[in-house]
Amino acid sequence: MLTLDKDRLLPMNSEDVKSILLHDDESLDCNSEMCDYSYCQLMQKKEPLVIADVDSFNGKADSGLSGRIAASKFKSYILAPLIHEDEILGFMELAAYERYTLNKGTLSILNEVLPILAMAHKRFMTEAQNRIEAIIQQECTTIHSSVKWRFEEEAEKFMKKQLNNEQPVFKDIVFNNLYPLYGQMDIKGSSVRRNNAVTADLTKQINAVKKVLKAALRQTEMPIYEELIFRLESYKTDLRKGLSAGSEHRILGFLKSEVYPVFDHLQQINAEMKMLVDEYNTLLDPDLNTVYEDRKNYDLSVNMINQRLASYLDRKQIDAQAMFPHYFERYKTDGVEYNMYIGQSIVQSQVFDQVYLRNLRLWQLVVMCEMENEFRTIQHELHTAIEVASLVLVYNTPLSVHFRMDEKKFDVEGAYNARYEIIKKRVDKAHIKGTTERITQPRHIAIVYSQDQDAQEYRQYLDFLTGKGYLKKGYEDLELEDLQGVTGLHALRAQVAFTGEISVDELMEAIEVRSSN
């Protein structure tokens, strides 16, 4: 029994069903290893190939298929398609040691069982695919569609070893010679904004607590209330100096251990104090038990930005994958960042060419411009004032990308390639040389590079996008301050002025024109 996968015949992954034609690890290419007659009969007409005399057939056909049958020592042979809903799922094999034992007359009997075998084979394939999916889910978590084929190959080997009662090991998977692309849209000053929001909420909470304690002090003049107010003022003074690590934890811990037990007592004194404590409790978020106003506005704004930009990028990725398959992963942080890898080792049957890399780079710039303007459309809806800054990292050296089984994630392979990861983590903090100005600025796209040939390529893209109305005229070419462990970086920085959309055809046409120049 044989199965069919993209014009290749493969033996079934079952210890109970063996192939006459192929050994376990072999395959047969239908296009190159079948003669015209065999291919027409099996693949086009979808009818059985009957070989009553194997030796005679091999002498006439002289193909990989006929040679393999002749090498099997069988003298008559039938290869019959298993068809389900007009799709060839695989092939059933029959063989005999004598010439003419199997012939066209055998087909009258065979045709009665072929539909049954086809349904059984369909069920086998479905169950096998389910097992493959389960193995991938268990061993690798969710895998991007562009590289899933490689994991399916490894899962099939894993499953075959299981069926043969061997100890299966899902091997680490490496994709070599891939070109990386990285981009991010980061919320400008996100750490400062978040700290300011936390400080504002804690200050509101301290003031609300002081209001209750001052009312209690007026009623009873107990020194303990005055001491608590003094400590609250000390915390408030510290907050004005700047939020430090642990400040929030210390303040909330103080309230929980020393203030709230006092509040429980105050509620029992009289109606006025109970009303004031109840008024304070209405300020608190019911889930967090703390004032959550400025932080909530910030978090809601960040979530809206992340959701809209990530969704936009996901939609655009569908078009990019149609141009040429590539690996893609994105993350939501304070903004959106993403990695893309493209190259020959990531595709199963297509042929990679540098034009697809250039096309993806131009596509990336177009989408970054569009995402900048997508942000502008929602900026007025945000609960707090926020700006974003865009960055693209150009790295022209191919990398090896390794799926690490222990961490279940992709990572670059080798010490030299690790430099790329170091640059990614630090580049958005880079300053223009001799200044304190960050390379990333609102309404601009910074393209960071290290080689002159990359700058030449991207200048062409910037000129093209300026002509299309995506960018304002003129762009800066800047030298960056050295980062820890990274030297020699430069950047092109252009201001976004997007007004329309570029079609896929325009992208490819632009790339082809520049390739011919």
**What is the distance between the alpha carbons of residues 134 and 144, in angstroms, rounded to a whole number?**
15
Look at residue 409 and give its three-state secondary structure.
Answer: strand
What are the helix (H) ranges across 164-189?
none
Q: Which residue has the tokens 């690790």?
A: 418
Instruction: Identify the three-state secondary structure at position 222.
Output: coil
Structure tokens at 78: 């039938």
- The domains of the chain are located at 2-170, 180-188+297-516, 190-291
What pLDDT is stored for residue 445 in this prediction?
96
Across 35-44, 86-95, 493-502, least confident range: 493-502
Residue 9 pLDDT greater than 60, yes or no? yes
Range with lowest mean pLDDT among 87-101, 159-173, 451-465, 475-489 = 159-173
Q: How far, CA to CA in Å, does 99 sit from each of 27, 52, 55, 60, 76?
A: 26, 6, 9, 16, 5
The secondary structure of residue 429, as a DSSP letter, is G
Check: CB of residue 306 under 8 Å from CB of residue 335: yes
Write the pLDDT tens digit of every residue in 387-426: 999 999 998 888 887 666 555 556 665 555 677 778 888 8
pTM above 0.85, yes or no: no
Mean pLDDT of the chain: 85
Gap between the Cα atoms of 384 and 380, Å rounded? 9
The full length of the chain comes to 517
Q: Write down the pLDDT at residue 139.
A: 47
Cα 29 from chain centre: 33
Specify the range with the lowest mean pLDDT, choosing from 218-227, 299-308, 485-494, 508-517.
Answer: 508-517
The amino acid at 156? E
Name the residue among 78, 68, 141, 70 with its Cα closest to residue 108.
78
Q: For 304-307, which contacts have Cβ atoms below 8 Å and span 24 or more sequence positions?
A: 304/378, 304/381, 304/382, 305/187, 305/335, 305/336, 305/375, 305/378, 305/382, 305/386, 305/388, 306/332, 306/335, 306/336
Q: Cα–Cα distance between 228 and 171 in angstroms, integer?
A: 62
Q: Kind and range of the H or E element at 364?
A: helix 354-379
Q: What share of the chain is helix, strand, coil (3-state, %, to 5)?
A: 50, 20, 30
The pLDDT of 271-288, averaged and rounded, is: 93
CB of 248 closer than 8 Å to CB of 292? no
Q: Which of 361, 375, 369 is CA-nearest to residue 320?
A: 361
| Angle formed by the axes of helices 190-220 and 247-254, nearest 10° | 20
Q: Which residue has the tokens 């904004």?
A: 193
The two tokens of residue 135 are: 């193995």
Q: Which of 98-102, 401-405, 472-476, 490-494 has the lowest mean pLDDT?
A: 401-405
Element (H, E) at 80: strand 76-84
Residue, of 95 and 4, whose pLDDT is higher: 95
pLDDT tens column, 133-157:
555 555 444 555 666 666 676 677 7
pLDDT of res. 447: 96
Architecture of domain 2-170: 2-Layer Sandwich (3.30)
- Least confident range from 75-84, 172-181, 377-386, 493-502: namely 493-502
CA atoms within 13 A on the CB side of 205: 27
Would you say the C-alpha torsion 151, 154, 156, 161 has a positive or negative sign? negative
290: three-class secondary structure by DSSP: coil
Continuous segment of H or E residues that includes residue 449: strand 444-449
Strand partners for 211: none
Question: How many whole angstroms from its chain centre is CA 176?
Answer: 18
CB atoms inside a 10 Å sphere around CB 417: 19
| CATH class of the structural domain 180-188+297-516 | alpha beta
